[in-house]
Amino acid sequence: MILYSDYCPRIFPLNGDSDPSELDRVQGIDPTSTLNREKIKEVGSDFTAWKRGTPTIGYALTQNEEGTLEAWLKLANKSSSSKTVTLDDFKTSWFDICEYLTDDDGTFLGTMQYPKLRLSGFSIGIADPDAIIERSFDLVGEHAIHWKNDNQYVIQLKATVASAGLLDSANNFDVVIGSGDYSDYPDPVADPDVGAGKTDAEKYIQKIMRVRSGTSTELIVDDDYDYVNGTKTLTIADAQADDIYKIFYTATSYVSGESTFVKDTSKSGGLTADSVDIYLYIPASGKPGSEDYLYRMQSATIDVAFDRTDYKEIGNKDVVLRGVRENTVTVTLSRYLEKWTAEEILRGESSTFGKIDVKELSDDIALIIKVYEDDTKSTFKLGYKITSLSPTELRSSVAVDEYTSKDITLEADNLLITDDANEL
């Protein structure tokens, strides 16, 4: 059996010069593969066949808030030097997630690979005043592969054309796997599903992503690259200086001197609700002040849903275009009713104003959630900011032997995530 501590998830961003990394502080992973097969019958016969559709992969992942931007940057395919992530960054981002599996006897059982996943939505939740802040991600894709035996490891080899001198006269760039700069990399193993009559490139190389001047392109096998297994030589055509190539294949062993999963003990195990400040304010008034701080909060949730427009094409079973038609950001704030601070902010009036009419509530509200290292709030870690929020629902609840609670729901189409407090 495989215990949770030996189930090691790793993310491989496909766009841009973003390196793979472990997914830390994960609390749960729930992938589901729906095969989309349709039974076909006909009148006058008991003949039955099956139409095989493209599978639909749903991948749910829950992570404790760790107070870093790392996971957001990987999901958005942005470099580690970036300080902000917005919802637009997820429109065309895609990535592989590989789960490296080891049983109770210490035997490595192989890799579960979910290629070309995209983000379809996520939430940031603070369930109650004692809770650990949680991030929940919903991912979608079309493939799920268990690599085992001789193909048990998924490898990404990153090769950079450091100078034009590495190209031949026809602008070909050679990567000799297992030699020179790539001597630590294991030999590729043929995909057992790719049969006779196929080229070595089709058999041994899973995919290649090229990053050129910030633009990422998936190369076409046999047109853009060739591979000769006898010499372990991968030849990439039409290369240029400063090109970056992310080369994926499977192997019997992992990269020499590297681990599939490095446990990070330097980050928090999970930041808690007492380490959070929540501000609700009118942006026209400038930065939020003490009068915009929300007290008596019992829970706070940000839910983001993407209306994805991912398209296939005739003659191809894979998704070839990725985009998002619309973002929906829903904020739910729950508190015990003691003061009307939140409603006063929504109305754009001070506490001395004598009337709060729901028809007059503003539709230009901003929310900031600041996450700190601990409850002293001396070290800022991460911030979430939403603007142009409009309230959609106000709800009260009172019952015998209970205090009155008040819930507010707001909606917008934007979200900024940053580890730089100045961006808020």
Decide: 185 and 234 in contact? Cβ < 8 Å: no
Structure tokens at 117: 């996943």
Closest CA to 189 of 157, 159, 219, 153: 153
Residue 32 has pLDDT above 80, yes or no: yes
Reduced to 3 states, what is the DSSP secondary structure of residue 244? strand
Closest CA to 332 of 363, 355, 284, 298: 298
In the chain, the percentage of residues whose pLDDT exceeds 90 is 68
User: Mean pLDDT lowest for which of 24-33, 107-116, 173-182, 402-411?
Assistant: 402-411
pLDDT digits (tens, 9 = 90+) for 320-378: 778 899 999 999 998 765 665 677 777 665 555 555 656 656 688 999 999 999 999 99
**CB-based burial, 358-378: b 16+ in 10 Å, e otherwise:** eeebbeebbbbbbbbeeeeee
pLDDT of residue 346: 74
CATH 2.30.110 residue ranges of the chain are: 273-423
d(CA 424, CA 411): 19
CATH number of 273-423: 2.30.110
Enter the pTM of the model. Answer: 0.91
d(CA 418, CA 144): 32
In the chain, the amino acid numbered 91 is K
Phi, psi (degrees; rounded to nearest 5) at 120: -105, -10
Decide: 301 and 332 in contact? Cβ < 8 Å: yes
d(CA 227, CA 222): 8
Decide: 381 and 418 in contact? Cβ < 8 Å: no
